Amino acid sequence: MIAAVFAPWASAATAQGSGINVSYGRWWRDGDAAAGTLTIAYYRHFFGPVDYGLGVTHLDDGQSPQDRTQTGGELSLAVGRDGSGPYAVSSAGLAMRHSDGNLDAQWSAGAGYAVRPVPFLSVGLEARYRVEDRDVRGFWRLDPDDRRGMMLQGRVALSFGSPARVPRRRSPPPLATVGRSEGGANGNGGEFEPPSEAEIGRMARSGGSSRDAAELAAQVVGTAIDLMGTPYRWGGTDENGFDCSGLIKYAYEEHQIIIPRVSRDQIRTGAFVEPRVDQLRPGDILGFSVERARVSHVGLYIGEGKFIHSASGGVRISSLTATDANSRWWQQRFVAARRIVN
């Protein structure tokens, strides 16, 4: 059995680890009563934003005049199913009819939308077009009695095999070397030593944060600092590599704060902050216009005019106040800021 899926917005979310997926819904066929559908599957990360699943599917067709209730296996392939937002999915499988023991093949393809209220739980709704091939003659040889129609399902997924968390280091992390800037700018730059969590907390308090907010912001920034040196990876959200928004999402979710996955949504989250260094507090999300006028890169402000981000050189610290060519490149493109912890 082979399943494939393609989606133009594949980068909207990235699969993370493994888990259990339960889907329940209805399948409407032309001229026939709706059948109930139930699928329980184990899914795993495949690559990038793609995951695959292998599960058991049951079709309750008892309301149809020709009862073709069946139970079997299903293989699925999806893009973005383990994140928040839109995703695409397709599946193929074989099932045995309860009435006569014959096998039917089925395939389906569609899209859904999921939300993740907590890091380990995802809920969503998906619509698919499903085709059933009676007696497994081949999808290219469908007969009039081979049924097809739209299927609508609710979905709950429990993640338990997400990538191992990077352990918090008690000793100061290595200095961040500033090299080639994302977007093609070059600058020799210098090295920026990250502040300690205590220093970050004090800077947040001096900027107007409450004690609790300052402590939380320092922990979020500290998580990002612990990841310095991790390579850049498009679509990356774990210790194997981060893209810019993946780093920030990871840092916040380590402290049970759920934010959107992509930069254009992250920079619309939280409270507006005027994009000036003297208005920033540690933990603020910074938006940069690297491509045309829109925000296409994000970083996390750490205080003292510096921010941490994942660009072409990996997770590192850059400056909004230094005078080297690299820092000036980012200063010219700093256009937005949002506050998540206030």
Q: What is the pLDDT of residues 197-210, one digit of tens each?
A: 999 999 999 999 99
Answer yes or no: 297 catalytic: yes
Residue 316: pLDDT band (50, 70, 90) is very high
* Arithmetic mean of pLDDT, 249-261: 92
Determine if the pTM surpasses 0.85. no
Q: Which of 45, 58, 98, 244 is catalytic?
A: 244
Tell me the residue type at 80: G
Listed in sequence order, the DSSP H helices in the chain are: 197-206, 211-225, 244-253, 263-266, 325-333
**Virtual torsion, Cα 215, 217, 222, 228, nearest 10 deg:** -170
Evaluate if residue 188 carries a pLDDT over 50.
Answer: no
| 213: region left, alpha or beta (phi > 0 left; psi from -120 to 50 alpha) | alpha
Half-sphere exposure (CA, 13 Å, Cβ side) for 324?
17
d(CA 131, CA 311) in angstroms, rounded, equals: 44
Q: Which of 45, 58, 98, 297 is catalytic?
A: 297
The H or E element that residue 306 is part of is: strand 306-311
- The answer to whether residue 98 is catalytic is no
Asked whether the predicted pLDDT for residue 59 surpasses 50, the reply is yes
Residue 154 has φ and ψ, to the nearest 5°, of -95, 150
- Tell me the backbone φ, ψ of residue 316, rounded to 5 degrees: -160, 175
Q: What is the pLDDT of residues 217-251, one digit of tens each?
A: 999 999 999 999 899 988 888 888 899 999 999 99
As a whole-number percent, the residues of the chain with pLDDT over 90 amount to: 53
Cβ-contact 55, 77 below 8 angstroms:
no
CA-wise closest residue to 226 among 246, 204, 251 = 251
| 261: phi then psi, degrees, rounded to nearest 5 | -85, -35
Give residue 277's pLDDT: 94
Nearest-5° Cα angle at 336, 259 to 117: 10
Nearest to 41 by CA among 26, 24, 28: 24
Q: Say how far residue 44 (Cα) sits from the centre of its chain.
A: 14
Does 45 participate in catalysis according to the annotation? no
